[in-house]
Amino acid sequence: MSGASDPVGTLDVALAHAARLLATQPALAAEQAEEILKVMPGHPAATLILGSARRAAGDAAAAFVTLDALSRAQPKSASVQYELALTLAALGRGEAAVAALRRALQLKPDLADAWRRLGDHLSAMGDSAGADAAYANHVRASTHDPRLLAPAAALAEGRIAAAEALLRDHLKGHPTDVAAIRMLAEVAARLGRLPDAENLLARCLELAPSFTAARHNYAVVLHRQGRSAEAMGEIERLLTVDPRNPGLRSLQAAALARLGEYARAIELYEAVLKAYPGQAKLWMSYGHALKTAGRQPRSIEAYRRSIELQPSLGEAFWSLANLKTYHFTTAEVATMRQQLARTDLTDEDRLHFHFALGKALEDAGQYADSFTQYAEGNRLRRAMLGYSAEETTEHVRRSCLLFTREFFMQRAGSGSPAPAPIFIVGLPRAGSTLVEQILASHPLVEGTMELPDLLGLVRELGARTRRSEASRYPEVLAELGASELRALGERYLEQTRVQRKTDAPYFIDKMPNNWAHVGLIHLILPNARIIDARRHPLSCCFSGFKQHFARGQGFTYSLDDLGRYYRDYVRLMAHFDAVLPGRVHRVIYERMVEDTADEVRRLLAYCGLEYDARCLRFYENERAVRTASSEQVRSPIYRDGVDQWRHYAPWLGPLEQALGPVLATYPDVPSFPADA
């Protein structure tokens, strides 16, 4: 029988005491571990406690010396690798921390917290797929309820449909199980049903406000829906608890960039890059922020660094092409062709290479080959999307039926009277960025970005939870009274206030897709200005065909879809010209190019603004520009794009056919049958 003086018993007591001190008094824990090591030099458990205590006490450098040596002596210990990973992260060596976490998980795959931290690192590095997999494995490893083991495993293995069925069945009997609700939200996010994911996570946090993993998910979902101001609130709350979390810091940088806080975003990206200097996607995100802030030489350096690190990253090549003013070298063109010859390239990388190579060949005057590249990039992207031209046509038909002159007269005086918003609508690549830059050069007007807020109201009014369901919008507007319409207008103003950086009385919302919602704008903001930026249909549509958009423009990946979309747009705008005469001011791009001074005067007069010569020197405006035309509007009037489509005329037959009479009458508008 062992007595109190038994050395083994004494050692165990001392180790247990040191371990207890770790959480609250790491300095004392370190002293206790050092005392043990004086008696038993090299003892693994005491050495691990010493390293952990030094890190917890803020001396990560000393902790690393201890733990690095221990990891070499104990290469099969998952606990040692995990603690080494935490220490490397504290030292800002994120990539080395990831390697240590992977070693720990190879040794012990059910180490739940290691999966979570790996997800945080991969998220910071721009590896969204890897982060999703790590977080799913964290859910599986941390699930102790046997009823959730099967759906957790399905989620981790990518069997999304099976996970959804199991979780829905479980929640029928256990509707307040926050772990299951969070897992179902992950399923919804993976399926692209972001509003569903948001609602589930909001319910999760209502039941368990301290559920930090769910709050992190909630912030991501908000950001992905364009609601970065709300996401920032969640991120800042999380950072008070975990200020060094790399995934949160990277998400914070992305949210700041979305909110126009480019100086802060760039600083954050630079800090994150110190921890992950070898991450191509992170360099690319940094390049995006630099580009939008007008720091083009540095953005090019960042994109090229991304390519050096990962030559297969097609999006980095497209990012260079998307500057519009960048010309690829012969070597870079050869690299793109080599990458496209690979059989293991993802479709996502492949389509970006096709778009980038199309631009390079266009610059070289090789139009036939260039069109082949553009067409293939569009074919790949079109296959990934669920765009329906019929849905757009049906929306226009329903809008024309609802929004009559009598409908608007009956609701005169409704909505918020605020005159602040200036909406620029139309198709992308129609010259809207030029119009925005001209207006934003006036001292009374602030340029913001393509704001998602009006489209968010549309989704909410439509009350559609599945794509297969019919939307209640726009007919639901007939059910709203004056106070409800005013509340919607005030809500739009409140939501967009976060984008305002100056005290200018007017601001611009340049979301082009808002052409489909001119009726809503007029009802909720009757004093807002609406500007329709229009460009020759072949010029505009083919420019869209050449462009790979980050999101939201699913109609641009087919010449037929483009032609039908442009035709529907012209039809609806002609309808509003008829029922609301003079409500919308139209800017024809070609006229703006040919007679800039007169067109600018007309534009300012419509907006109720006095003439200001700075509007003609718009290219001197150093504001951030967040669209594909950002570099073009930093130069005097961009004339080169007017007739570029003519080089591709032999291949534009499907577009011309889809446009029909809209092409023949431009810039005038053909008559549309009442029941079209």
Closest CA relative to residue 48, chosen from 20, 16, 9, 83: 83
Return the percentage of the chain with pLDDT > 90, whole number.
71
Residues 600, 615 contacting (CB under 8 angstroms): yes
Instruction: Provide the residue type at 631 as one letter.
Output: E
Q: Bridge partners of 531?
A: 424, 585
φ, ψ dihedrals at 238, nearest 5° = -70, -35
Computed over every residue of the chain, the mean pLDDT equals 91
- For residue 531, what pLDDT is reported? 98
Q: Assess if residue 20 is contained within a domain.
A: no
Q: Assess if residue 409 is contained within a domain.
A: yes
Q: Assess if residue 521 is contained within a domain.
A: yes
pLDDT in tens, 98-146: 999 999 999 999 998 999 899 999 988 988 888 888 888 888 888 877 8
Q: Assess if residue 570 is contained within a domain.
A: yes
Q: Assess if residue 339 is contained within a domain.
A: no
Q: Assess if residue 465 is contained within a domain.
A: yes
The 10 Å Cβ neighbour count of residue 510 is 28
As a whole number, mean pLDDT of residues 328-351 equals 96
Asked if residue 327 has pLDDT above 50, the reply is yes
As a whole number, mean pLDDT of residues 392-410 equals 97
pLDDT in tens, 83-104: 999 999 999 999 999 999 999 9
As a whole number, mean pLDDT of residues 271-283 equals 93
- For residue 388, what pLDDT is reported? 93
pTM, full prediction:
0.84
Long-range contacts of 138-147 (CB under 8 A, 24+ apart): 138/112, 138/113, 138/213, 139/179, 139/182, 139/183, 139/186, 141/109, 141/110, 141/111, 141/112, 141/115, 142/112, 142/113, 142/116, 143/179, 145/177, 145/179, 147/174
pLDDT in tens, 344-372: 999 999 999 999 999 999 999 999 999 99
Q: Assess if residue 155 is contained within a domain.
A: no
The band of 6, judged by pLDDT with boundaries at 50, 70 and 90, is low
> Residue 551's domain spans which residues?
389-665
pLDDT in tens, 503-557: 999 999 999 999 999 999 999 999 999 999 999 999 999 999 999 997 779 999 9
- For residue 622, what pLDDT is reported? 60
| 431 burial via Cβ count (<10 Å: 0-12, 13-18, 19+) | buried
User: How far does Cα 346 stand from its chain's mean position?
Assistant: 20
What are the respective helix, strand and coil percentages of the chain, to the nearest 5? 65, 5, 30
- For residue 147, what pLDDT is reported? 85
pLDDT in tens, 13-22: 888 888 888 8
Tokens of 227: 């609601």
Instruction: Give the separation between CA 161 and CA 339, rounded to whole angstroms.
Output: 34
Q: Assess if residue 595 is contained within a domain.
A: yes
- For residue 404, what pLDDT is reported? 97
Number of structural domains in the chain: 1
Classify 521 as helix, strand or coil.
helix
- The mean-pLDDT minimum among 183-197, 287-301, 617-631 falls in 617-631
- For residue 16, what pLDDT is reported? 86
- For residue 458, what pLDDT is reported? 95
Instruction: Give the separation between CA 310 and CA 290, rounded to whole angstroms.
Output: 20
Return the percentage of the chain with pLDDT > 70, whole number.
94
Asked if residue 486 has pLDDT above 80, the reply is yes
- For residue 8, what pLDDT is reported? 52
State the CATH number of the domain containing residue 471.
3.40.50.300
368 vs 449, higher pLDDT: 368
Asked if residue 1 has pLDDT above 60, the reply is no
- For residue 10, what pLDDT is reported? 80
Instruction: Give the separation between CA 633 and CA 619, rounded to whole angstroms.
Output: 6
Classify 372 as helix, strand or coil.
helix
